[in-house]
């Protein structure tokens, strides 16, 4: 699977078993914040939970249906980003992401999403990238808005979050409107994956 140097501060790569303790600690340190937005937090309590998650995501990557990357900022694990689903027939994907609270406000996730979107269009030749965000998650919504994604639709009761449903705003970007891809901007990926 691909590994990316986004810039001098940010690096993306698939998780390895050796990352499990850092991942668990990051979740533990940010549990209440992450739980407000993400449905998997309560199922991530022990190292074996993290290792099971890593193995599951690795299986999906081998099948070519989903790809997950850790985000390292200045050498420290800061969060995760993924192609949650890759739909080969329609040549589209859904990007999901989370960033620990101490790393927010530095443009880390915007740069990571930009790089992964660029990769989706230029390297694996997808035609559309979607991002689904809870309406009141302003920090998360600002990322696709900053990158020029179009607000595509509003989906009611899109996700079950512990004890209630959450709506989603769906943002979309089509390859022909992606400026970084059109201009050929952005750093090159460090390894060429075979999808």
Both ends of the chain: CA-CA distance in Å?
8
pLDDT at 36: 87
**What is the average per-residue pLDDT within 1-20?**
93
Map tokens 């990158």 to a residue: 147
Taking the C-alpha atoms of residue 44 and residue 168, their distance in angstroms, rounded to an integer, is 23
Q: Is the pLDDT of residue 191 over 50?
A: no
Q: Is the pLDDT of residue 2 over 90?
A: no
pTM confidence score: 0.89
Tell me the chain's radius of gyration from C-alpha atoms. 16
CB 122 within 8 A of CB 161: no
pLDDT at 1: 67
Q: Is the pLDDT of residue 41 over 80?
A: yes
- Name the CATH superfamily for 4-101+108-183: Gcn5-related N-acetyltransferase (GNAT) (3.40.630.30)
Taking the C-alpha atoms of residue 60 and residue 85, their distance in angstroms, rounded to an integer, is 9
pLDDT at 180: 62
Q: Is 145 exposed, middle or buried (0-12, 13-18, 19+ CB in 10 A)?
A: middle
Q: Domain coordinates of the chain in residue numbers?
A: 4-101+108-183
The mean of the pLDDT values for the chain is 91
């Amino acid at each position: 699977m691909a590994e990316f140097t986004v810039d001098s501060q940010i690096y993306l790569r698939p998780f390895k078993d050796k990352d499990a303790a850092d991942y668990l600690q990051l979740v533990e340190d940010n549990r209440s914040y992450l739980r407000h937005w993400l449905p998997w937090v309560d199922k991530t309590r022990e190292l074996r939970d993290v290792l099971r998650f890593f193995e599951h995501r690795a299986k999906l990557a081998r099948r070519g249906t989903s790809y997950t990357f850790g985000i390292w900022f200045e050498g420290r694990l800061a969060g995760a980003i993924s192609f949650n689903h890759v739909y080969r027939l329609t040549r589209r994907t859904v990007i999901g992401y989370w960033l620990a609270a101490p790393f927010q406000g530095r443009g880390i996730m915007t740069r990571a999403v930009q790089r992964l979107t660029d990769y989706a269009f230029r390297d694996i030749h997808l035609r559309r990238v979607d991002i689904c965000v809870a309406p009141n998650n302003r920090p998360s919504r600002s990322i696709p808005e900053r990158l020029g994604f179009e607000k595509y639709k509003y989906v009611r009761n899109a996700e079950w979050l512990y004890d209630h449903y959450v709506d989603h705003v769906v943002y979309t970007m089509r390859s022909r409107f992606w400026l970084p891809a059109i201009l050929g901007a952005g750093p090159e990926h460090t390894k060429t994956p075979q999808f």
